[in-house]
Amino acid sequence: MDKKEKYVDIGILVLLGLFIAIALNNFFRADLIISVNTYAGIGFWTAVLFLNIIGNKKSKYLLFIALFLYMLNIIDFSATRLSVSLNYNTGKVIYHPISFNPVGAILFIVYWIYNKNVIRKIYTPTVEEDEAKLSKNLEFYKNKFSQCSKEELTELYKNYRSYPVEAQVVLDKLIKED
């Protein structure tokens, strides 16, 4: 992990921790009611902090998800509202519906800028996954084409370019063997 990325992660966690400390202070001293969203935010923050302390790399993904949810006000880290939206108050439980949170958006964008490569890895397979998929496909086409006669293989070879790369490799090996 890059030092910049680590400092950004720690900075965002400290900032969210400050938001939570202020929210809890307001809850205990100013008699403000904390919403369900804030409790969820505290839970996310605690999980990310715990994973970060033990050195788990999944903490980056969880922090990314937490900041995205914070940007949409699904989870919250404060006792005050930073967006204009409706509130549902059922007496003891307050829930804030999905809305846009500008502070959450800024934190999300900053986090995304410094962690682009890590976040991209969510959508790209690892080398081991690629190798497993390749070997599985090679084995599949080997089993499929090994049952064919020479005439069938020559017919298959006519459509060589229309097959996936794995099938082409297996066809080449089988044609060379014959």
Contact status, residue 153 vs residue 175, Cβ threshold 8 Å: yes
- pLDDT digits (tens), the chain, 178 positions: 578 888 888 899 999 999 898 888 888 887 777 778 888 899 999 999 999 889 887 888 889 999 999 998 888 887 665 444 555 555 555 666 788 888 889 999 999 888 888 777 767 777 888 889 989 999 998 888 888 888 888 888 888 888 888 888 888 888 787 6
Domain shared by 30 and 92, yes or no: yes
HSE, side-chain direction, 13 A CA sphere, residue 9: 25
* Residue ending a domain, choose from 72, 94, 120: 120
Verify that 54 and 103 share a domain, yes or no: yes
Which of 92, 120, 148 terminates a domain? The answer is 120
Whether 139 and 86 map to the same domain: the answer is no
- 86 lies in the same domain as 172: no
Same domain, 80 and 140: no
The number of folded domains in the chain is: 2
Residues 36 and 113 in one domain: yes
In whole angstroms, what is the distance from residue 178 CA to residue 161 CA? Answer: 20
Do 102 and 133 reside in the same domain of the chain?
no
pLDDT at 91: 56
**Which pLDDT score is estimated for 36?**
80
Strands 94-95 and 88-89: antiparallel
* 110 and 133 inside one domain: no
Query: What is the residue range of 140's domain?
Result: 127-177
